[in-house]
Structure 1
Amino acid sequence: MIDFQSKGYQIAAAVRGGKISATEALQVALARIDTANPSLNAFTAITSERARAKAAAIDQAIDEGRDAGPLAGVCFAVKNLFDVAGLSTLAGSKINRDDPPAQGDATLVRRLEAAGAILVGALNMGEYAYDFTGENIHYGPSRNPHDPTCMSGGSSGGSGTSVASGMVPLALGSDTNGSIRVPASLCGLFGLKPTFGRLSRHGSFPFVADLDHLGPMTRSVTDLALSYDAMQGPDENDLWCAQKPAEPVIAKLNDGIGDLRIAVADDYFAKQGDPEVHEAVAAFARALNTDRRITIPEAGRGRAAAYVITTVEGANLHRERLKTRPNDFDPAVRDRFLAGLMLPSDWLAQAHRFRAWYRARVAEVFRDVDIILAPATPRVAPKLGQVLMTLNGVEMPVRANLGLFTQPISAIGLPVVTAPWAERDGKLPIGVQIIAAPWKEELALRVARHLENIGIAASKAV
């Protein structure tokens, strides 16, 4: 029998094997949402009628001897910047409430459902994805299931909350500067930010076209790989991934790591953040039998370039909204966008030039290593409403700096698996980034699976 702590692959095996129906699996999820969501505030819409119809179709397929898909009966939810037919695509905003409902589903929603998964709703997020906290002034904060007085992380806060609380075993988020990896770290989950261009972004509300990624969050590496494989493939509606063929990873998860060259990011990544985040990285390194350290050159300026690109390109996307409805924005989001509109155009050009140089230097690093370990967040989840945090004796704004370690990686589109450190003794979760070269998601997933198998990395529903 399954319950809310069951992983997606366990649910799919039970449904495909006839031990439980998809309808029964859905009932477990909806009951858990009914119990947990009122206090944790992960969902902005629950698509129960659609979900029941999908579950019935899966049950019929199984009764007729047809293949119901590798994710048969696995319930999932999506950050509310994904198009869902019949729902307005909110992107965490008040303004988008006035938009007509989407006429169709985002590509990744369609692909997951084609693999047998069941969409159960849309999830809370930071307004227009410009957030690392999981707090939203229009819809309220997504609370951290490990301590509801704490942040879930953002901007995919509802995604992190929904999976960590056991409401669903799988959720989709977006990651422009760290918005999958930050909530995965703070909520104790596995999260995948794929290579830029690997998964289709068609049918998602954009933030920064040059930096946006979409990806899954789960409580197991198997679920991460199953969902990733289901979503891969060219999409003529997204030119970035139109020509990239799928490269399935699920069959390679247990290939081992003996052939991989693994190092720990030094310098920028070692000099900042609370001691416990570096303890997590050190624990992963010991488990992987590596004491090698490498420097990602100019990571700090890589982060600065990402900031400029984010602020300027994000602001220009919202120029008309800022003119006509400035008071309907979260003031903190509005003010950053307004600042972006005032930056000189040559700053943006210089940021892109530097990013190209930075990408080339990091590519040289990957000639000598296959995997780089780095902290995911500079600390555990802050309290809701907390404005400042102290790191290395320096007081810093929370909202801007929870992405301290993720932004330099987003800037050049590298694939990353964030894995939760299991050895926490009742403390709040913290995660580690497992970073690979472009298009090498398989390697990061193999490392995460090894760490999961030996118990150093683990996640469970609260």
Structure 2
Amino acid sequence: MSGPALAIAARIRAGETTARAVTEAALARIAARNAAVNAFTAVLADRALAAADALDARIARGAAVGPLAGVPFAAKNLFDLAGIPTTAGSRIRKAAPPATRDAFLVRQLEAAGAICLGALNMDEFAYGFTTENSHDGPARNPHDGTRIAGGSSGGSAAAVAAGLVPLSLGTDTNGSIRVPASLCGLWGLKPSYGRLSRHGSFPFVYALDHVGPFARSVADLAAAYDALQGLDAADPAQAAQPPEAVTPGLGAGTAGLRVAVLGGWFGRQQSAAARQAVAAVAQALGATETVTWDMAEASRAAAFLITSAEGGALHLPTLRTQLEDYEPLIQDRLLAGALLPAAWINQAQRVRGLARQSMAALLRDWDVLLAPATPVPATPIGQEMLALGGVQVPLRPSMGLFTQPISGIGLPVVTAPVPKAEGALPIGVQLIGRPWAEATLFRAAAALEAAGICAAPVAAGFAEGAV
């Protein structure tokens, strides 16, 4: 079992190609194709070529190289990359001092041999689900350039789905990895809260922020996850859980796994495409029971309040002096969040704790729970409203209907892409597990991929020379 990233690394280690040749080819793809998807906001060609030459020199000396040797990757532009400002998708931070050191996860991937090519488009300050950025332009879905890539890690998903790089880094506060993975047809991982260090990434909501990778195959996603792990005292939220190697368990199958479909909140307000995708995954995993988590809606409401309050508090000093420099789509939300009563936030935290306890009780009986990642496939750029269950609802927040309750309690999720749920548009299914049970989710994901139920489809127009 392999994927584009691991195949690249294997060829480089075998001497069939060089890191420089791979890097030059990736930079050429970006130059030719990025305009169609608007994924990159900064391309670091000199840095990447220098790293490739250094890796080739190590191989020539017979030195050991990592499992991702020579694999190109890129990072959402809220991760620090030494030498450029960490803009977090904003106009305000374009004049910020350049980062003096790479983010922890960037360093982890580079320690495994991967080569960073640049920074990727996102919703401003990660506050959105569509990456319709007024400053950098919208990230476009490689499967249909008139549609959204999802957000807030839209550039991270678009870059991988378009074959510009085989791996990318994103963040997920309320669904910002799972939504773009679903809409762009990729594998994405939101790990357990505290599993991976967030140090060197611009924060949004300390209580809810997660970080993780995108990839086109389960094996590549697992290899990236293995490389990203490591205890980092600089992130106080990171729990002292020992790293787990998930790659060796990918072929273990699903024997003994107890899998159920989440109904109730997760069974309503979804399109036929989402319903069909969940049904296909459920059948493949032998999930015949539907269970209900009664606190799903309350968990989402609590996450909404915590997001608003923490986001507003973080940005209030700048809002007082540079309000009009903020993305128009988030100005009012940040101001409203800064004005929320403390009693509401205290109650939201209590509800969050109760939601965590009730889900823990449910997960005593199940190893994997299934739910849609998004209610619909990718929608047109600029669309404001969405019809769900015969009701018109605001599109942007509704993209997080099924992701927000889960990130509110910090559970790990692998998003599995179902290739053609509606025409040529993919949609994703969440594989949800217990805290620190990422390995179980990877087993289920690998089985779905091996059965041909879930896969990252090649975007039309991007197949030739894609990675």
Partner residue, 1:125: 122
Contact 2:385 2:394 in 1 (8 A): yes
Partner residue, 2:357: 360
Give me the whole-angstrom Cα distance separating, in 1, the residues matched to 2:173 and 2:30: 28
Matches within 5 A, 1:10-409: 10-241=7-238, 243-409=240-406
The one-letter amino acid paired with 2:260 is A
Give me the whole-angstrom Cα distance separating, in 1, the residues matched to 2:239 and 2:344: 30
Give me the whole-angstrom Cα distance separating, in 2, the residues matched to 1:16 and 1:283: 38
Contact 1:236 1:242 in 2 (8 A): no
Contact 2:274 2:421 in 1 (8 A): no
Contact 1:219 1:461 in 2 (8 A): no
CA-CA distance at 1:423 after TM superposition: 4.6
CA-CA distance at 1:61 after TM superposition: 1.3
CA-CA distance at 1:427 after TM superposition: 2.0
Contact 2:420 2:427 in 1 (8 A): no
Give me the whole-angstrom Cα distance separating, in 2, the residues matched to 1:451 and 1:212: 28
CA-CA distance at 1:67 after TM superposition: 1.5
CA-CA distance at 1:242 after TM superposition: 5.6
Contact 2:377 2:422 in 1 (8 A): no
CA-CA distance at 1:360 after TM superposition: 0.4
CA-CA distance at 1:17 after TM superposition: 1.2
Give me the whole-angstrom Cα distance separating, in 2, the residues matched to 1:155 and 1:425: 23
Partner residue, 1:415: 412
Contact 1:111 1:230 in 2 (8 A): yes
CA-CA distance at 1:297 after TM superposition: 2.1
Give me the whole-angstrom Cα distance separating, in 1, the residues matched to 2:418 and 2:331: 35
User: How many residues are treated as equivalent by the alignment?
Assistant: 458
Superposed CA offset, 1:143-166 (max 9, x none): 000000000000001001100000
CA-CA distance at 1:422 after TM superposition: 2.9
Between 412-421 and 250-259, report the one with greater CA deviation: 250-259
What stretches of structure 1 of length at least 5 have no aligned partner?
A: 1-5
2:444 aligned residue (447, 453, 459): 447
SS at match of 1:430: strand
Superposed CA offset, 1:64-114 (max 9, x none): 111210001110000000000001000010001121000000000001000
Contact 2:419 2:425 in 1 (8 A): no
Contact 1:208 1:310 in 2 (8 A): yes
Give me the whole-angstrom Cα distance separating, in 1, the residues matched to 2:430 and 2:449: 14
CA-CA distance at 1:244 after TM superposition: 2.4
TM-score (norm 2): 0.97
Give me the whole-angstrom Cα distance separating, in 1, the residues matched to 2:225 and 2:257: 22
Give me the whole-angstrom Cα distance separating, in 2, the residues matched to 1:272 and 1:391: 5
Give me the whole-angstrom Cα distance separating, in 1, the residues matched to 2:5 and 2:34: 19
CA-CA distance at 1:425 after TM superposition: 7.4
Contact 1:422 1:455 in 2 (8 A): no
What stretches of structure 2 of length at least 5 have no aligned partner?
A: 460-467
Contact 1:88 1:101 in 2 (8 A): yes
Give me the whole-angstrom Cα distance separating, in 2, the residues matched to 1:431 and 1:381: 11
